[in-house]
Amino acid sequence: MKTLEIKEVTVVGAGLMGHGIAEVVALAGFKVNLEDAFPEALEKAKASIKNSLARMVKSGKLTQENADRVFAGMNFTADLKGAVSSSDMIIEAVPEIPDLKVKLLREISQNCRADAIIASNTSNIRISTLAQEVSNPQRLLGLHFFNPPVVLKLVEVIKSDRTSDEVFEETYQFSKKIGKTPIKVLKDTPGFVVNRINAPESLLFCQILDKGLAKPEEVDAFGKSQGLPMGPYELMDYVGIDTVVHSLNYYRDALDKEYGKCGYFNQFMDRKELGLKSGKGFYVWENGKAQIPKAAPSTVIDLMDVLSVEINESAKIIEEGIAEPADIETGVKLGMNRPFGPISVAEGLTNAEIKRKLQKLSEKFDTKIFYPAKSIEEGKLRELLSGKAAKAKEAPATEKARETAPAQESGGEPVTLRKDVEKKVAYLILSNTRNNLINSDVLEGIERHLKTLWNDKEINVIVVRGEGKNFSAGAQLTQFFSGPMDFAENARLGERTFRLLSEVPKITIAEMKGHVLGGGFELSTWCDIRVSTPEAIIGFPEVTLGLVPGWGGSQRLAKLLGMSRAAYLILTGERFDGKFAHEVGLVSRLFPAESIESETDRLAQDLAVRIAPVSAAMAKKLIYKGSEVAADNGLEMESIAMGLLYGTEDLKEGISAFLQKRKPDYKGR
């Protein structure tokens, strides 16, 4: 079927998910109808949306004028027929009850236009099940938002065997327009990607209790020792034990009968102890917090148990043609709010160790769901992941072209390259989490963009800055590493990547603001020039965490400040501000926080036209390489550099401009 441009959207169901989805769509500038048969639900939704918009205004994310415009563009109604009759897209967001959804979708399809797209925000139910009574089922698909929709970026776009390619692609692009990161679920399956990967974990944690192997508080203590904000049982309490039980029962009926092996959770259903919503579940809840008994971390489960189960289910999803590896990785990272997903974990492990772990789990719990997927059983996991994963990681030609085009941005990455060819300045902008934390993806982005700029004659200065209020608060410590050697290689990767900033034949400037800690501080030390706000919070907290500065900080700081001062700052983990950094010579310029970006831009643009790029490249080599050799060798390098510069066009242009009292026009030759 031929699709139309989406301009008006109706969300049916004004509950927690429904009103959140409506707000997201309205914030993107679309006309939105929010329909619910219950007036009290609509009033509650209005209040929630107003409060949410007010918080955005208070935090500076939205102006009051824009907030008023967004709310004014929303229509709250109890008239389903009127709401859907003129809409281009209708999103159903009622409770996860199949019969309720089927009935509602039938009513929607009878009252909306024949060319309107109908999407269900189901989190588990097959789209083919929901399409039973929908007229023109080729226009029906799944559009699964994650809670809370205003905050979480992930959206699963789910194609049934009857959804048209045009509707699927149009909805995928719509998801991007409303500021989300969509992943494609190419084949209808219960739970789709994220919840299906979660399903075997829920079964695993249920069977641990079924067999009396550990207490909930012991397993939760283990989970928190691995850096999780909540243990598995505390999380089940939080979302509702009934939700977990209903999901497992659905998977039992629609996916694999072995999901019916979970018995322990049923006692909570019988007693109506459902967790936070009832005040008691695995734990008693008071003032929104679980009262968890103190316990030592359980030893009956380890991190590899959980990760292997996730990798196994991911392999099944790929084998069944449900999703591509890159989309699985993105889905788990964004949907579970984690720094890594099962694909990147699998790439750091051997097929044999994953297979061994799964065989032991399957035998221990007498559950076939944990048995190795076909590709793992046959030793072909790497083959399953390699071609598709590598292809997904490779930037398309059009994206590479954008990166090298004047004044263009490459978005959706943890490091964005922006070029201003007219000013001869490029910007590397860190944008990974609110604190711009550094992980392997950030390092890969920095390396790739620096290599793009290496021989770019149109760029003379590179500014490294953090998006938002912070430069970088350091390394993302929750990133997965399979062992000491893997961790050491990550340190080498950071050292090699950051060193490029001192080697690239351009002037590099670090714009230090907000938090400049750990790996973020190390990143700044590899730049040629550092500017800062007086209030910036700077330091190496590594020794307070049982680490050392591992991306060159122990070496760079001693060269910049001397051994005595570097030893004090590293060994105490003491934090200091930008004013102190300027006093000791670590920072060259101090700029007010409210104008640091414009002041840094002005400095970069001045250097880009005033300093001969060939001279800057030569000077960098003399400064950094000369500091590593004997004085006589350094002086010899300097005289050779002078000889090389003598024949350059830039030297002639510099002298000519000086004599004519004009600005030079350097070409880098």
Q: How confident is the model at residue 160 (pLDDT cuts 50, 70, 90)?
A: very high
Amino acid at 179: G
Closest CA to 185 of 194, 176, 177: 194
- DSSP bridge partners of 466: 430
* Residues that are catalytic: 522, 542
101 to 119, 121, 132, 143, 287: CA distances (angstroms): 11, 10, 11, 14, 34
Higher-pLDDT residue of 636, 43: 43
Q: Is the pLDDT of residue 56 over 90?
A: yes
Question: Which of 329, 331, 358 is CA-nearest to residue 200?
Answer: 358
| Lowest-confidence region among 101-115, 141-155, 332-346, 387-401 | 387-401
- State percent of the chain over pLDDT 90: 74
Contacts of 312 (CB under 8 A, 6+ apart): 200, 354, 358, 370, 372, 373, 376
The mean pLDDT value for 152-172 works out to 95
Residue range(s) occupied by CATH 3.90.226.10 in the chain: 397-595
The pLDDT of 46-54, averaged and rounded, is 95
Instruction: Convert the pLDDT of each residue in 563-591 to its tens digit.
Output: 999 999 999 999 999 999 999 999 999 99
Look at residue 390 in the predicted model and tell me its pLDDT: 40
Query: Quick one: average pLDDT of 3-7?
Result: 78
Which CATH entry fits the domain spanning 8-185: 3.40.50.970, 3.40.50.300, 3.40.50.720, 3.40.1160.10?
3.40.50.720
In the chain, CATH 1.10.12.10 covers 612-659
CATH 3.40.50.720 residue window(s) in the chain = 8-185
Assess whether pLDDT exceeds 70 at residue 398.
Answer: no
State residue 482's pLDDT score.
67
Write out the residue limits of the CATH 1.10.1040.10 domain(s) in the chain: 194-291, 303-393
Q: Domain 303-393 maps to which CATH number in 1.10.3720.10, 3.40.140.80, 3.40.50.1240, 1.10.1040.10? A: 1.10.1040.10
- Band of the pLDDT at 389, cuts 50, 70, 90? very low
pLDDT tens digit sequence for 27-42: 999 999 999 999 999 9
Say what the pLDDT of residue 391 is: 44
Residue 406 has pLDDT above 70, yes or no: no
Q: Higher model confidence: residue 395 or residue 661?
A: 661
What's the rounded mean pLDDT across residues 437-451? 92
Of the chain, the percentage scoring pLDDT greater than 70 comes to 91
* Interval 328-364: pLDDT, tens: 999 999 998 877 889 988 987 889 999 999 999 999 9
pLDDT at res. 657: 67
Cα separation values, 601 from 381, 462, 524, 585, 598, Å: 48, 10, 17, 21, 5
Look over the chain and give the mean of its residue pLDDT values, rounded to a whole number: 89
User: Which pLDDT value is given to residue 631?
Assistant: 72
* Better-scored residue on pLDDT, 111 or 226: 111
Instruction: Please determine, for residue 520, whether its predicted confidence score (pLDDT) is greater than 80.
Output: yes
**pLDDT of amino acid 258:** 95
Q: What is the pLDDT of residue 639?
A: 72
Q: How far apart are CA 83 and CA 13, in angstroms?
A: 12
Q: Which CATH architecture has domain 194-291?
A: Orthogonal Bundle (1.10)
Tell whether the model's pLDDT for residue 322 goes beyond 50: yes
Lowest mean pLDDT among 356-365, 529-538, 648-657: 648-657
The yes-or-no verdict on residue 405 having pLDDT over 60 is no
Identify the CATH number of the domain defined by range 397-595: 3.90.226.10
Q: What number is the average pLDDT over the span 82-103?
A: 94
pLDDT of 68 strictly over 90: yes
Q: 419-438 burial string, b = 16+ CB within 10 Å, else e?
A: bbeebbbbbbbbbbbebbbb
CATH topology of domain 612-659: Lyase 2-enoyl-coa Hydratase; Chain  A, domain 2 (1.10.12)
**What pLDDT is attached to residue 413?**
81
The DSSP H or E segment spanning 352 is helix 351-365
Answer whether 194's CB lies under 8 Å from 336's CB: yes
- pLDDT (average), residues 527-548: 94
